Amino acid sequence: MDLNEIVEDVRAAMRSELGQGAVADYIPALARVPIERFGIAVTTVDGATYASGDAEEAFSIQSISKVFTLTLALNKIGDDLWKRVGKEPSGSAFNSIVQLENEAGIPRNPFINAGAIVVSDVLLDPMSGAQAIARIERFAGSLANSHAVGIDDEVARSEAETGFRNVSLANFMKGYGNIKNAVTDTLDVYFHQCAIAMSCRELARAGLFLASGGYDPVSGEPVVSAERARRINALMLSCGHYDASGDFGFRVGLPGKSGVGGGILAIAPGKASIAVWSPGLNSNGNSLVGSLALERFARATGWSIF
Amino acid sequence: MDLNEIVEDVRAAMRSELGQGAVADYIPALARVPIERFGIAVTTVDGATYASGDAEEAFSIQSISKVFTLTLALNKIGDDLWKRVGKEPSGSAFNSIVQLENEAGIPRNPFINAGAIVVSDVLLDPMSGAQAIARIERFAGSLANSHAVGIDDEVARSEAETGFRNVSLANFMKGYGNIKNAVTDTLDVYFHQCAIAMSCRELARAGLFLASGGYDPVSGEPVVSAERARRINALMLSCGHYDASGDFGFRVGLPGKSGVGGGILAIAPGKASIAVWSPGLNSNGNSLVGSLALERFARATGWSIF
Amino acid sequence: MDLNEIVEDVRAAMRSELGQGAVADYIPALARVPIERFGIAVTTVDGATYASGDAEEAFSIQSISKVFTLTLALNKIGDDLWKRVGKEPSGSAFNSIVQLENEAGIPRNPFINAGAIVVSDVLLDPMSGAQAIARIERFAGSLANSHAVGIDDEVARSEAETGFRNVSLANFMKGYGNIKNAVTDTLDVYFHQCAIAMSCRELARAGLFLASGGYDPVSGEPVVSAERARRINALMLSCGHYDASGDFGFRVGLPGKSGVGGGILAIAPGKASIAVWSPGLNSNGNSLVGSLALERFARATGWSIF
Amino acid sequence: MDLNEIVEDVRAAMRSELGQGAVADYIPALARVPIERFGIAVTTVDGATYASGDAEEAFSIQSISKVFTLTLALNKIGDDLWKRVGKEPSGSAFNSIVQLENEAGIPRNPFINAGAIVVSDVLLDPMSGAQAIARIERFAGSLANSHAVGIDDEVARSEAETGFRNVSLANFMKGYGNIKNAVTDTLDVYFHQCAIAMSCRELARAGLFLASGGYDPVSGEPVVSAERARRINALMLSCGHYDASGDFGFRVGLPGKSGVGGGILAIAPGKASIAVWSPGLNSNGNSLVGSLALERFARATGWSIF
């Protein structure tokens, strides 16, 4: 099968799986997304895209945005970031605070909520919140090569209104001095980044630099150094799916980052960037059908990194 | 540089690093190994081996043996193993018991001590302890293609005499019904497997099946299915270095498994199996100079999987 | 020795102990209190008071106020309170959040910070913050039978400015639905109650109802039922000194509640209410000299409840 | 009501409560005890005993024996004991190992299993196991003033055969150097002490020294110093019912120690020693009906220490 056939095969095979899991319901804008949606898009390092299903429909990428903000933060302050956030899987849920208390306010990795909040704090300083948010939005749009990429204000507002756990995490770290700006400002950035909306096509395009050594193979523009791109991929592999990261690596064999909106971005280094979307989540908060789709895709392509 | 040059370069570069860290001192046989030892061996999938330093000297592979017993257990009971042991990084030290209490006696993964004890328990049943130990010894020797591979009885005895924490872990799981045999029998297998001694040359050869899709590329014999080989590699990546697994993946970019004797086995899928050895350990219990050597090696070869 | 002599003896014996420990320094108003201060006051159920040292000097009673707000909350909603807060020692520090995550946002007891914040939330609803604060202030003044009792606004402001951990705890519980009002409103009540200032003489008088079956033996007015008074005493015994509650019960043998301002209120049921104050804290955050003073006092009077 | 009437009233009131909870079923000898049993005995400091129900039937006192072994250990090595075991409530289940890992093998208090195992270890050294066990048995019999008190060998054997968690705890502490003797020898003492069988009448008599300042008020013989007796009572109050200790103090208001055989020993200092027995346990492993009986008894007598 060529890539086009594989993508269609995956879409066809997922049809009977749709409806499983549960759509995130903590905010209205996510809760009303139909659970039967499924999209997949693959962009190869030569710039070609293969897509199927609801691949043009924008969805809330949520925690997948942490990959892009991590990239920005590394470009901004380099390895100093690792003084404020770790590189290890947490062995806990995405929003756990236990680890923070045991480790003096240093989050385990930049992909759990606490770690991503620190990353937001890095991006904020010394910009204003509005500037930091605009910077993230522009970066995502530029990577996706699309003017349609933007922040869903309703989602951002809902996140802020219901995000007590994130407020708790941020204040906890502030108590340890690991948040430098006002907590409300830092969280404003964080809640907005989580509200970025993209389609699978845009998301696959946006992740392409991670599959091609850190530069955009279409434009030829550098995004991060090759070493940083590899390291971001390594973190996605070990920490990208919260306390189910090991299982994702085991079954799919590709670095990936999931979001509670049902999206997953996976990277096949040297080959392609893959985006899937299906809003039904498993008990770990990762897209149930999206994971199955990637497992089938990886088996068909033989692109497992292992 | 060709592989021969790279191996020599790594050895040369490590000379000024030797002596760092601390040799494991909980048993005499490990404590008396000179900290300045350093060996490296690389066996490529075409069967060629490149070695330097103390690559012919046998050392205690300790927890690296968990890769081989996991392979045997998967061949024996297949995916039923995953009912008794998880696939996730633990976020804790190699000998932590906290996670076991929180998760009803199911160890997080087969590479922490508790998980490997469950694997030993699988291999024991219905064999006698002596048979199970002999089976593991033969398997390791066969993979290494060497008659010299064997179990160091002094080490095994010392492990048994001082291994109170492992006795604790095993009894804890027995209380939850996750150890089927008598605890002393299961631990006897576990303590013996940890006492396997190999040289870097032998270890690199023994790991080769994981670099070549599960079969021995020299003899052509199957060891495990290609999918299982990939999955073992995935587990090594996410769990092979205890609570420093993320950092190893980040810096080296290869699946690896360390042992407290100072050895590390790393796999470059499709390319080679690499063994390094230097007995000085860092604070996480992984070979300090061995990790540096693999980081340099991976950079020079460009073999990072990311 | 009669009570007067005992009180003087305790004061004299403590002279050589003064200066030990460390004054709380997280807010300026506490940090500048001289560490050599020491006061003691004993009010017996017949209304007599025996005092010595700096017994007339007002200090920040901090967490001792939790005894008074618990009393108010029990009078307000009765045993329904125990649906939102437990009655068990936490085994953890006063500001730990680990227990909250493990137990779904229900604090272990009303004397750790999280529990007292829930109590504040109970008192707030449906009053306004200003009314709730005024209610607490009046209650404390009335119990102390003093117009001088009041809230130190500088302290309250400083608590609010630096209390990130408490903000974190409150938002964490809000995420579990265990805070009913706006977090900022609830915390405003909490920060103000902690800022109540009293002298030892006033504090001993204020605690008298707990020594006399729940009513004020001087005025004859009921404060709480006899059973509730006993139960508040029981909670003070098992939970009043955070993770050093066992040791306080062991050494002093009286129910007691400490505050980070250096005060301790102890109750000898049927006999007297005792207040001591000395700002140097031990590593658990309890008054070091205050604890020694109470230990000596309990031994001299034979008032241990055990 | 006089004491005789109160005891009969409690028995009568408990009739409709019998059958609640669950009998411990981890060993056959406990599992086959009829759940409807109920006994109560009160021995006052003047030596009189008031008993009702199945007060003459021997039952396995299990963890209540920890009170007696603690007494022996304090008499043997004094306050040095507190270097090896704490005095704080654990906030965890009776057999939790989490706290041990976080606190370097020092159990929180002598009434959780780990702490009692350390106490057994103290009693063993330098006696033989048989001598230590005989010493404990004689001490219990002497306190109970009864030749009928003895160790149930079937129970002891069953404890040893099924006590994997206790084996785990002991080995864990051995790994930290907090068990001095061979683990099997220490546990042999521990398992035998748990198998002491007594009737309510005997148990109430045995606890009398704790109600009377440390000496036996009938024989006039000293058992422990008055201060130690008070301190043992304090520990019973804060730690005697595992993670329900706070609730027991709250509801009953007396120091107490429960056992999984359904017995509870409670102390009214200066007044009496009370034993109740009913084998149905609540979810915390404490006698459900026994707790209700003591609550009613304490209310009727007004003997709450608070």
Q: Active site includes D87?
A: no
Residue ranges, chain D, pLDDT below 50: none
Q: Are the CB atoms for D112 and D91 separated by under 8 Å?
A: no
- Write the ipTM: 0.94
* Helix spans in chain A (H): 3-14, 28-31, 65-77, 98-102, 113-124, 129-144, 153-162, 164-175, 183-194, 200-206, 208-211, 226-239, 245-251, 288-301
User: Burial, D291: exposed, middle or buried (Cβ in 10 Å; 0-12, 13-18, 19+)?
Assistant: buried
Q: Which chains touch A (3 or more CB pairs under 8 A)?
A: B, C
Judged by DSSP in three states, D58 sits in coil
Measured between CA atoms, the residue of chain C closest to residue D304 is C230
Residue A51 β-bridge partners: A41
Percent of chain D scored above 70 by pLDDT?
A: 100
Residue D39: phi, psi to the nearest 5? -135, 155
C45 inside 8 A of chain A by CB = no
pLDDT tens digits in sequence order for chain B, 306 residues long:
899 999 999 999 999 999 999 999 999 999 999 999 999 999 999 999 999 999 999 999 999 999 999 999 999 999 999 999 999 988 777 778 888 888 899 999 999 999 999 999 999 999 999 999 999 999 999 999 999 999 999 999 999 999 999 999 999 999 999 999 999 999 999 999 999 999 999 999 999 999 999 999 999 999 999 999 999 999 999 999 988 999 999 999 999 999 999 999 999 999 999 999 999 999 999 999 999 999 999 999 999 999
Sort out which chain A residues have CB atoms less than 8 A from C172's CB and list them.
97, 164-165, 168
The answer to whether C36 touches C277, Cβ cutoff 8 Å, is no
For residue B99, give the chain A residue with the closest CA. A91
Instruction: Look at residue C264 and give its three-state secondary structure.
Output: strand
pLDDT of A102 = 84
pLDDT of residue C62: 97
* Cα–Cα distance for residue pair B240/B248, rounded to 1 Å: 9
| B-chain residue closest to A82, CA distance | B247
Is C215 an annotated catalytic residue? no
Six-digit token pair at B36?
């300045």
* Contacts by residues D135-139 (CB-CB < 8 Å, ≥ 24 positions apart): D135/D72, D136/D65, D136/D68, D136/D69, D136/D72, D136/D189, D136/D192, D136/D193, D136/D196, D137/D192, D137/D196, D139/D68, D139/D71, D139/D72
Quickly tell me which residue has 């350390």 as its tokens.
Answer: D118
Q: Please provide the average confidence, as pLDDT, over all residues in chain C.
A: 96
Measured between beta carbons, the chain D residues lying within 8 angstroms of B26 are none
Contact with chain C for residue A182, Cβ under 8 A: no
> At residue A91, does pLDDT exceed 80?
no
- Per DSSP, the residues of A165-224 read HHHHHHHHHHHTT---S-HHHHHHHHHHHHTEEE-HHHHHHHTHHHHTTTB-TTT--B-S
Q: Residue C59 corresponds to which tokens in the numbers above?
A: 């200090």
Contact C88/D231, CB-based, under 8 Å?
Answer: no
Q: Which of D23, D65, D66, D199 is catalytic?
A: D66
| pLDDT confidence of residue C128 | 95
Prediction pTM value: 0.95
Q: Which two tokens stand for residue B262?
A: 């100072």
Domains in chain D (CATH in brackets) are 3-59+199-301 (3.40.710.10), 63-196 (3.40.710.10)
The tokens of D80 are what? 């040095």
**Minimum CA–CA partner of A242 in chain B:** B88
Encode pLDDT of A57-71 as tens digits.
Answer: 999 999 999 999 999
* A157 pLDDT higher than 90: yes
Q: Which two tokens stand for residue C175?
A: 């995420």
Give SS3 for B277. strand
Residue type, C274: I
CB D74, CB D224: distance < 8 Å? yes
For B:67-106, CB contacts with A below 8 A are 86-92, 99
Q: Is the Cβ pair C91, D92 closer than 8 Å? A: yes
The pLDDT of residue C97 is above 90: no
Average pLDDT over residues C82-97: 87
Residue D101: the pLDDT is: 86
Catalytic site includes residue B190: yes
User: pLDDT class for C92, splitting at 50, 70, 90?
Assistant: confident
As a whole-number percent, the residues of chain A with pLDDT over 70 amount to 100
In this prediction, residue A114 carries a pLDDT of: 96
- pLDDT tens digits along A11-40: 999 999 999 999 999 999 999 999 999 999
Tell which residue, A281, A294, A303, A284, has the closest CA to residue A59: A281
pLDDT of D98: 84
Whether chain B has a CB inside 8 Å of the CB on D171: the answer is yes
- Asked if C267 and C233 touch (Cβ cutoff 8 Å), the reply is yes
Question: How high is the pLDDT of residue D262?
Answer: 98
B282 and chain A: CB distance < 8 Å anywhere?
no
- Taking the C-alpha atoms of residue C255 and residue D250, their distance in angstroms, rounded to an integer, is 12
Which residues, 6 or more positions from A102, have their beta carbon under 8 angstroms from its beta carbon?
Answer: C98
Q: Specify the 3-state DSSP secondary structure of A264.
A: strand
Average pLDDT over residues A228-237: 96
pLDDT above 90: percentage of residues in chain A: 92
Per-residue pLDDT of A187-228, as tens digits, reads: 999 999 999 999 999 999 999 999 999 999 999 999 999 999
For residue D259, the model assigns a pLDDT of: 97
DSSP E strands in chain C: the ranges are: 39-44, 49-53, 59-60, 150-151, 196-198, 256-258, 263-268, 272-277
